[in-house]
Structure 1
Amino acid sequence: MKKWILSLGILLLILSTVAVSASGHSEKSVSRKPPHHHRDIQLGIDRLLNEKKDLLKGKRVGLITNPTGVNQKLESDVDLLFHDPDIKLVALYGPEHGVRGSAQAGEQVDKYIDEETGLPVYSLYGDTKKPTPEMLKNVDALVFDIQDVGTRYYTYISTMAYAMQAAHENHIPFIVLDRPNPIGGTHVEGPVLDPKYASFVGLYPIPIRHGMTVGELAGYLNKEYHINADLTVVKMKGWKREMSYSDTNLSWVMPSPNMPAEDTALVYPGTGLLEGTNISEGRGTTRPFELMGAPFINGLKLAQHLNDLHLPGVIFRDASFTPTFSKYSGQLVHGVQIHVIDKQTYEPVITGLSIIKTIHDMYPDKFQFSAEDKNGISQFDRLVGNGWIRKDINAGVSIQSMEKKWQPASKQFEKKRKKYLLYK
């Protein structure tokens, strides 16, 4: 009997071992840890408070930030600095959408008092985009911490540049707390801005997709365009250039009301150009910059034409939607949704211009670029950074020919930026 029980026990042990081997699972394999780099990124704000607080000790601090200014635990910079006994936070400055992110695109925000801290909040969007001496009179150090999205015409980098100018003019140190470029730091794409078309959606000659962090960009602009601010960049630890935002251990906080996800940031360098046309860029939907269309478009035909271009890393699907605000508010709109299937090969600027050219060619009597101002410049020109691309689209020039035309300046930028790159 004992021998029988022993034999049965051995048989059960063998069967359980075989079952574990066949399933490929064990306690050890189920609890696999994520790749090392996912756990190892430290943001500029975390490094400032943990390692580099001496930069601010004994100084009255002004903070330029918005809801993305958080540490890895999603605690607000405003609260962290305000409650830190070693730091004296005295003023807040808000970019487009405000410090707390409550304003829609284009909505002006006036000076007010922050309810949580009682600190004055100065708007850097609207009539005053550059901090005035009056705004800075009680400030000994100016800190910038805002999540950028890697696109030239996203206005936060213009806010940073103006603030750097003001810091230099008022002899105030300027400190950038660095954050990832959410669409990676390896790809540069699109035309370099022609200075004749400089505006708040593009102040300096850089490509649409610049492939730099805000800290790197601050260094580049400071030296190449002689801003000459007393600049310190608090680098991240653990970020690598090839990383997309989903490769990090960081939670996505919306940089603006119409930038709800990492996918939005990825397509924005191209589909953001639709803002300079009469085509809805999907504002007023849950998928801004991924959905696009107009009442006069046949979505099935547009999707077919775009898929026939075989653009790398992307598929188009016909889609209809009704925006709740912005273009065609309350109207049924037909068009496409863009689906990125390969982030590495996807070319957002080429894709965005291909969408615009395709709709232009399909509906020449209904498609429109935004109106020109008294100088003959349209909002599309300001976004794309020149006047010739709009003319080439109207003249039937291919996107490939346009790309060849902008490539020399873009390649020159890539070479110049190398010495300002802070991460491998």
Structure 2
Amino acid sequence: MIYNTIKSTYLFLFIFSIFCEVSCKQIPPTANNTKNVIEKKIITGADRTSEYIPLLKGKKVAIVANQTSIIQKKSKFNPDITSFHLVDYIHNSKDIEVVRVFAPEHGFRGKADAGELIKDGIDTKTGLPIISLYGKNKKPSNEQLKGIDMVVFDIQDVGVRFYTYISTLHYVMEACAENNIPLIFLDRPNPNAHYIDGPILEQEHQSFVGMHPVPVVYGMTIGEYGKMINGEGWLHNKMKCDLTIIQMEHYSHDKKYSLPVKPSPNLPNDVSINLYPSLCFFEGTNVSAGRGTENQFQIYGSPFLKGFDYKFTPFSNEGAKYPKHKEKTCYGEDLSNTDQLSEINLSWLVKAYRQTEKKEEFFNDFFVKLAGTKQLQQQIENNLTEKEIKNSWKEGLEKFRKIRSKYLLYK
């Protein structure tokens, strides 16, 4: 009896072990689980410190940075991943002398209003001088670069032509080229890199909110954009900047990326960043895009619109001391639940124009600068449909795609 019981037990264990061996073999990934198997966290150029810190050793360095210049690292004192500001990290590195910091629009800490002139100052944490590139000068002067061996550029972009950080990039590259100073560029993801759309900027409408002949949404990281500035000869006298790009790891243009730090006061979340290329056109009209509320670039409205149930009232807040239609009731739409866009949506702009009571006051001079062409305003005033307007962009977008393809670093 005991012998038979032991024999049965061994037989059961033998069969069970074979079952486990077969069932535990790796199952080939299916269409549903492939992404989970291969998805890897994006490592920004700033995070890859071993690639650029050695290049800075023994150098006098200037850094172009703002509140988005964050490094995610494990500290030797803390096993968990910790955030460091790039300026603090480099300033505390051995054998590197950080001489000064250059700050773009919105300032070093990113709290100033859009368009507000920023004064030079001193960083209270490091004691480093902060030179504004959105005050007396938008381009580093020869005096401000005197004695600098190398410049490091690290600012989070959102991939839209009228977002001024790429204009700051242009002037920094130009100043470095003029002074024979190498520029190290720490690349970051573009949250709007998954598409290309909008009218191409015409040269006669060049300004700080549009310096280059590119569409509104250009589908490139800021590192790739820097390569294009160099390659297309857009710097003064077609100069070339000595540019080293620290590329990202595990990044592609269609990979979703949620910004860990808001890039400016009025882009508070992923929805606003995605809607920004479509809603920023309202900055050139008498319609508010939500500045002075908690839903910036997620709503639009005006006291002059009719037929809308949604309403809001702008008040002074961080990043909008004097918002459009301050303390007035605005009527419009709440777009905060809109699905992610993969193209510019003109329907809201067209609808607002058609339903405004004061069409002659709808557009202001800033609209043409944002659009980069007079044609868009004329098309809307002539009652063209959104489809008709977008058809007029096709030829320019096709030409740009060919130019863009020469400078891509990622798929």
Report the TM-score, using the length of structure 1 for normalisation. 0.81
1:133 aligns to 2:142 (yes or no): yes
Shift of 1:348: 4.5
Change (3 A) 1:216 1:124: same
Quick check: 1:70–1:77 contact (8 Å CA) kept in 2?
Answer: yes
Change (3 A) 1:50 1:96: same
Shift of 1:186: 3.2
1:321 aligns to 2:312 (yes or no): yes
SS at match of 1:35: helix
Quick check: 1:37–1:238 contact (8 Å CA) kept in 2?
Answer: no
SS at match of 2:189: coil
For residues 79-99 of structure 1, give each alpha carbon's deviation from its aligned partner in whole angstroms, at most 9, with x where no partner exists. 001111132211100000111
Work out the CA distance in 2 between the residues paired with 1:340 and 1:190. Answer: 23
Equivalence map 1:19-418=2 (5 Å): 35=36, 39-47=40-48, 49-72=49-72, 73-183=82-192, 185-225=193-233, 226-246=238-258, 252-298=260-306, 301-302=307-308, 318-325=309-316, 326-339=323-336, 341-343=338-340, 346-349=341-344, 351=345, 353-363=346-356, 365-366=358-359, 368-371=361-364, 378-418=365-405
**Cα root mean square deviation, aligned:** 1.8
4+ residue stretches of structure 1 with deviation over 4 A? 36-39
For residues 318-361 of structure 1, give each alpha carbon's deviation from its aligned partner in whole angstroms, at most 9, with x where no partner exists. 52111113011111211101145542xx3452x1x321221211
Work out the CA distance in 2 between the residues paired with 1:289 and 1:60. Answer: 40
Work out the CA distance in 1 between the residues paired with 2:304 and 2:58. Answer: 61
Code of the residue aligned with 1:234 in structure 2: it is I
Work out the CA distance in 2 between the residues paired with 1:172 and 1:324. Answer: 45
Quick check: 1:284–1:329 contact (8 Å CA) kept in 2?
Answer: yes
Work out the CA distance in 2 between the residues paired with 1:38 and 1:104. Answer: 37
For residues 86-125 of structure 1, give each alpha carbon's deviation from its aligned partner in whole angstroms, at most 9, with x where no partner exists. 3221110000011111312111111111111111111101
SS at match of 1:44: coil
For residues 50-71 of structure 1, give each alpha carbon's deviation from its aligned partner in whole angstroms, at most 9, with x where no partner exists. 2332321221110001000001
Code of the residue aligned with 1:334 in structure 2: it is Y
Work out the CA distance in 2 between the residues paired with 1:154 and 1:394. Answer: 26
Unaligned runs of 5+ in 1: 1-31, 303-317, 372-377
Work out the CA distance in 1 between the residues paired with 2:95 and 2:249. Answer: 23
SS at match of 2:231: helix
Quick check: 1:360–1:367 contact (8 Å CA) kept in 2?
Answer: no
For residues 175-203 of structure 1, give each alpha carbon's deviation from its aligned partner in whole angstroms, at most 9, with x where no partner exists. 110000012x3310011110110000010
Code of the residue aligned with 2:267 in structure 1: it is M
SS at match of 1:75: strand
Code of the residue aligned with 1:42 in structure 2: it is I
Code of the residue aligned with 1:394 in structure 2: it is E
Richer in helix (by share):
1
Quick check: 2:356–2:362 contact (8 Å CA) kept in 1?
Answer: no
Shift of 1:78: 1.0
Aligned residues: 359
SS at match of 2:198: strand
Change (3 A) 1:37 1:290: farther
Quick check: 1:279–1:367 contact (8 Å CA) kept in 2?
Answer: no
Change (3 A) 1:37 1:114: farther
What corresponds to 2:19 in structure 1? none
Change (3 A) 1:379 1:341: closer
What corresponds to 1:312 in structure 2? none
Shift of 1:386: 0.5
For residues 259-293 of structure 1, give each alpha carbon's deviation from its aligned partner in whole angstroms, at most 9, with x where no partner exists. 10111110001101100000001001111111100
Code of the residue aligned with 2:224 in structure 1: it is E
What corresponds to 1:13 in structure 2? none
Code of the residue aligned with 2:327 in structure 1: it is G
For residues 21-62 of structure 1, give each alpha carbon's deviation from its aligned partner in whole angstroms, at most 9, with x where no partner exists. xxxxxxxxxxx9x93565432111121x22332321221110
SS at match of 1:207: coil
Quick check: 1:278–1:367 contact (8 Å CA) kept in 2?
Answer: no
Quick check: 2:376–2:389 contact (8 Å CA) kept in 1?
Answer: yes
For residues 359-406 of structure 1, give each alpha carbon's deviation from its aligned partner in whole angstroms, at most 9, with x where no partner exists. 2112253563443xxxxxx21000011111111211222222221212
| Bigger Cα displacement from structure 2, 401-410 vs 192-201 | 401-410
